[in-house]
Amino acid sequence: MKILSPSRHILSGAMLVTAMAFFVPAVLNLNSQAVAASVAGLPDFTDIVEKTGPAVVNIRTTEKIKLDSDSGATGDDAEMQEFFRRFFGAPPGALGKQTPPRSRKPGDKDKQQEEVPRGVGSGFIISADGYIMTNAHVIDGASEVYVKLTDKREFKAKVVGSDSRSDVALLKIEGTNLPRLTMGDSDKIRAGEWVLAIGSPFDLENTVTSGIISAKARDTGDYLPLIQTDVAVNPGNSGGPLINMRGEVIGINSQIYSRSGGFMGISFAVPIDEAMRVVEQLKTSGKVTRGRIGVQIGEVTKEVAESLGLPKAQGAQVARVEADGPAAKAGILAGDIILKFNGTPIEKANDLPRLVGSIKPGSRGTVTVWRKGVSRDFTLTVTELASDKEEAADSKDGAGKPEQVANALGLIVSDLSAAKKKELDISSGVMVDGVEGSAARAGLLAGDVIQRLDNTDIKDAKQFNSLVAKLDANKMVAVLVRRGESSQFVPLRPTK
């Protein structure tokens, strides 16, 4: 900032008055114009809130617990259980009282069970006859679910169905001509678009917050790419609608990212298109059925793609094929790169379970894979996904006689015995007996099995070491490594 000398910039009293008389109104006029322009550029949510607010409901849940003369449960306990379960990091006592403890009578100690407050959340009406959408975690474990409208009417709700993988639940109350929300198109949303949330944070009913869409599709789960926003969302907002400037629902507010337990500017919503697909199944059968093909997958890195001759890093790398599963029966192998499913490109690994999950079990599907420099199509029959538990295995075996010197990849390998090949159900490969240099830095361990070098199957230690000796030290190579029951390409750079 430039500082002016007082001796050269002194005005007489008359001059000062004249200057002020001219200058002040001009400043005020400019400021008022700037404020008017600023206000005119901001979104006005008032009409949207007035239109959509009546269809947003408060959800209160209770559960039946066993009580004795020395025990009881309060609304605080229930709220904190909800909080810790869905929004991590809040220290005990971070939330104030939200639901008063239920009073007890002298004879209550003889009762086996008592219905106590469990938690609060939000939801919204999607049909005039009383269907309500909310999050699965809002009603999970509840004995009873109560819904309160903005006109203070309260209903006991029936849980039609719930799906934990998508975190979507469908409720039903008995009513007619109820206010309802219009569903939007979450596929057409854009980052930077204004949105608002209405819900009951900390049981403060019909609270309105606003912000923008920060990202369209965050991979926070296997089956749903969530909408990221900076809309203030807190415990109790769960299950409430995320609404666009046309007054349409584009998502269900579901999660926040927090290190402190409070809102930190990042919240997530289930896309309404995905949620409606779940709701249709819940309405029809009370559950959601998803397909599976029996593979464990991982991302394809740029280095692996270049080593295998792929034009770009895309697809899902098959790390493990479930024995007797659809993929195994079709001929898909560990190390294959799945590029398409039923003709739809797989850009990233998480695309595959979403596409397969949307297929009805029993349906035929076509899987396009990249194997040894060429693409191949395999036809399989999709089966039903029975549970959300992932199978995992990590076995260790140090058998094998090591060579004396590590090769250019930093690997000391030996031939696999016939018994070991039978145990692993493979026809070729070599056992890793020692690691150093590039292999050690990449995380390879003794006991790993090398199955392929780029697009060449490894038959024995002699062949493997011969191939490694001919590698270009300026280029990365992809080594297919099996550990336990999983296989993964690991990019390595040979030493000179």
Q: Looking at this protein, which amino acid is placed at residue 174?
A: E
Residues 88 and 31 sit within 8 Å (Cβ to Cβ)? no
Q: Residue 420: is it exposed, middle or buried by C-beta count within 10 angstroms (0-12/13-18/19+)?
A: middle
Q: Which of 76, 167, 448, 454 is catalytic?
A: 167
- Confirm or deny that 238 is annotated as ligand binding: yes
Active site residue 167: yes
Distances (CA, A) of 185 to 123, 232, 243, 250, 344: 19, 22, 11, 6, 21
DSSP letters for 388-404:
SPPP--------SPPPS
Distances (CA, A) of 43 to 210, 214, 232: 10, 17, 17
Phi and psi, residue 235, nearest 5°: -55, 130
Q: Which of 238, 254, 438, 486 is catalytic?
A: 238
Q: Which of 76, 122, 137, 254 is catalytic?
A: 137
Q: Return the bridge partners of 439, or none.
A: none
∠ CA 181-61-123, nearest 5°, is 10
- Confirm or deny that 237 is annotated as ligand binding: yes
| Cα dihedral across residues 174, 176, 182, 187: positive or negative | positive
- Confirm or deny that 167 is annotated as ligand binding: yes
Give the number of other Cβ atoms within 10 Å of residue 111's Cβ.
12
Residues 400 and 431 sit within 8 Å (Cβ to Cβ)? yes
- Confirm or deny that 244 is annotated as ligand binding: no
Active site residue 9: no
Active site residue 137: yes
- The secondary structure of residue 181, as a DSSP letter, is P
Residue numbering of the annotated binding site: 137, 167, 236-238
Known catalytic residues are 137, 167, 238
